Amino acid sequence: MKDFVIVIHGGAENKTRRDIGSDLEAAYRRGLEEALLVGWEILNSGGAAIDAVEAAVRTMENNYIFNAGKGGAYTEKYKNEFDASIMCGQTLKAGAVAGVQRVKNPINLAKTILDKSKHVLLTGEGAEEFALEHHLEFKPIEYFRTKKQLDELEKTKEEEKVKEFDTVGAVALDKNGNLAAATSTGGLVNQHNGRVGDTPIIGAGTYANNEVCAISCTGEGEGIMRAVVGHEVYALVKYLKMPIQEACQQAANVYKDKIEGDKNLIALDSQGTIGIYYETDLMFRAFKKGQQPHTVAIWED
């Protein structure tokens, strides 16, 4: 029996301690710890990695300080559009959803697609129809909206740009040696209506394979897609037998001359070795291995 492990992230940003402030930092730490322990409890009681990552990500979707579910970023047209995906390393089954607006927990919808659909990726109206058919919880659009995100949009519109915002994710290895990965996001601030990033793209923002590794990315989605970061980590570990940390670093830096934007990720290999790599000032992250004490971190130290 393997030592079980869970690693989560709440996104990566270029911000200093002063930018975030002590109150918000404390809220992030509490939010990360809560999500981590929800997933860890499932693994500790012999549950599956796929259920642990779903639960950890759902907990962050319910916490307005993270950019996923409640508190997600606004598009240029003042809408909230959510993407999520989940993958089981044992079966190589995956479920993904893009551009949903009223499903309370997009990660639950991605998991339902994995379990009950012959498709992998459903979008927009069709995805919401599928959610209704399977009795998933819906919320009015007001539920997802926060003043913090509205202020971010107004500021970004003034600067006439699109602002990168966080994604949340989790990777886990259960007692049976099964890997899983899950990722969820509210997208970019001021993104074009209908824009979809790397989060629901299997092999880009999310990937899991029992034989090799599990990965969840956050950062500049267009770049992560073009570099196929998740699959790049997988290939480096599988074919070059590269250690997971080194593979994360190399995958994030592939074609740097052609593909700009930061690429940040968490990963686990089949032995439960953790890989965490980020190019920003900080990454909201936490991990716990077996019965060892858990770690919650934001900055490099």
Active site residue 167: yes
Under a CB-based contact definition with an 8 Å cutoff, are residues 200 and 96 in contact?
yes
Question: What is the arrangement of strands in the sheet containing 179-185, beginning at the earlier edge strand?
Answer: 121-123, 94-100, 82-88, 179-185, 167-173, 5-13, 282-289, 295-297
According to the annotation, is 197 in a ligand binding site? yes
Active-site pick, 167, 183, 185, 206:
167
220 annotated to a ligand binding site = yes
The predicted pLDDT at position 1 comes to 64
Q: In angstroms, how far is CA 81 from the centroid of its own chain?
A: 15
Per-residue pLDDT reduced to its tens digit, 98-128: 999 999 999 999 999 999 999 999 999 999 9
Cα gap 180→267, rounded to integer Å: 10
User: Which pLDDT tens digit goes with each residue over 245-279?
Assistant: 999 999 999 999 999 899 999 999 999 999 999 99
The model's pTM is: 0.96
Domain coordinates of the chain in residue numbers? 5-297
Map tokens 């940040």 to a residue: 264
Where does 5-297 sit in CATH, by number?
3.60.20.30
Residue 178: DSSP 8-state: -
Lowest mean pLDDT among 15-19, 149-153, 263-267: 149-153
The response to whether 218 counts as a known ligand-binding position is yes
Q: How far apart are alpha carbons 104 and 106 in whole angstroms?
A: 6
d(Cα 96, Cα 94) in Å, to the nearest integer?
7
275 is in an annotated binding site: no
